[in-house]
Amino acid sequence: MSPLIAPSILAADFANLQREVEMLNSSVADYIHIDIMDGVFVPNISFGIPVMQAIHRHANKPLDVHLMIVNPDNFLEAFRDAGAEVISVHYEACTHLHRTLQAIADLGAKPGVAINPHTPVEFLTDVIQDIDMVCMMSVNPGFGGQKFIENTYSKISRLKDLILAKGAKARIEIDGGVNLQNAPKLLAAGADVFVAGSFVFNSSDPVKTISELKSISQD
């Protein structure tokens, strides 16, 4: 099966956001990945709700929102209202993760959980049946353009086993350092969705790069 592709708008030209969103609309991308950073959970600040609303006004792809923020509960409704289809919160930022996931579902969005590179996939054992997506960080969150962490492959296999054992429907999304070299191996390990920021936006033909990522096979 071909992977789903979620280009990360973090790597776009923010001075030409409408043009960038229209480029993604014309591509075979399945989602637009929206990275929200608060300068507290991660050592960087990206953009907030008004920018996401502007993206939503022009996007014809579903918005996949990755909240790298503390206290995400305070903002779930605002992000839903700004057009989020998937809302992923960080495992490491949620004291009452189950409650937060329930709140996302009650708002009519799809709940996701993002996990840092050091967080074992086994920590999701008791929520995996309640979520649509696991956003597995393959870099430390906070910045685009970082080097892919190799340990990710074994985490994907272990998470796939957990999903199958539980009869869960969660998709495995890989976020950070994804490119055409590692994507086939990630797909073979069990990944369903690829986030790609710099690899797409720094390429000479982003629409073609998205198609190439989408058409990889497991070899």
**Sites of contact with ligand DX5 (CB under 6 A):** 8, 10-11, 33, 35, 66, 139, 141-146, 175-178, 195-199
The radius of gyration computed from the CA coordinates of the chain, to the nearest angstrom, equals 16
Q: Report whether 13 belongs to an annotated binding site.
A: no
Catalytic choice (30, 35, 38, 132): 35
Is 35 a binding residue for Zn ion by CB under 5 A? The answer is yes
Distance CA 82, CA 59 (A): 12
Do residues 191 and 155 lie in contact, with contact meaning Cβ atoms separated by under 8 Å?
no
Instruction: Closer to ligand DX5 by CB, 10 or 103: give it.
Output: 10
For 190, the token pair is 């069990």
> For the chain, percent helix, then strand, then coil, each to nearest 5?
40, 20, 40
Instruction: Closer to Zn ion by CB, 61 or 66: give it.
Output: 66
Q: If contact means CB under 5 to 8 A according to the sort of partner, which of Zn ion, ligand DX5, none does residue 168 touch?
A: none
- Taking the complex as a whole, the smallest distance from the CB of residue 84 to Zn ion amounts, in Å, to 13
Q: Report whether 33 belongs to an annotated binding site.
A: yes
Q: If contact means CB under 5 to 8 A according to the sort of partner, which of Zn ion, ligand DX5, none does residue 146 touch?
A: ligand DX5
Q: Where are the alpha helices (DSSP H) in 60-151?
A: 76-81, 97-106
- Cβ neighbors of 7 (< 8 A, separation 6 or more) are 24, 27, 29, 32, 33, 195, 196, 197, 200, 201, 206, 210
Q: Report whether 197 belongs to an annotated binding site.
A: yes
126 catalytic, yes or no? Answer: no
Q: Report whether 142 belongs to an annotated binding site.
A: yes
Instruction: Closer to ligand DX5 by CB, 140 or 157: give it.
Output: 140
- Cβ neighbors of 15 (< 8 A, separation 6 or more) are none
Q: If contact means CB under 5 to 8 A according to the sort of partner, which of Zn ion, ligand DX5, none does residue 199 touch?
A: ligand DX5
205 catalytic, yes or no? Answer: no
Catalytic choice (30, 132, 175, 192): 175
Q: Report whether 175 belongs to an annotated binding site.
A: yes
Instruction: Closer to ligand DX5 by CB, 86 or 195: give it.
Output: 195
Q: E strands, 91-210, where?
A: 110-115, 133-137, 171-175, 193-196
Could you say which of 79, 175, 177, 183 contacts Zn ion (CB under 5 A)?
A: 175
Distance CA 49, CA 79 (A): 7
- What residues are designated binding site? 8, 33, 35, 66, 142-145, 175-177, 197-198
Could you list the residues known to form a binding site for a divalent metal cation, using ranges: 33, 35, 66, 175
Active site residues: 35, 175
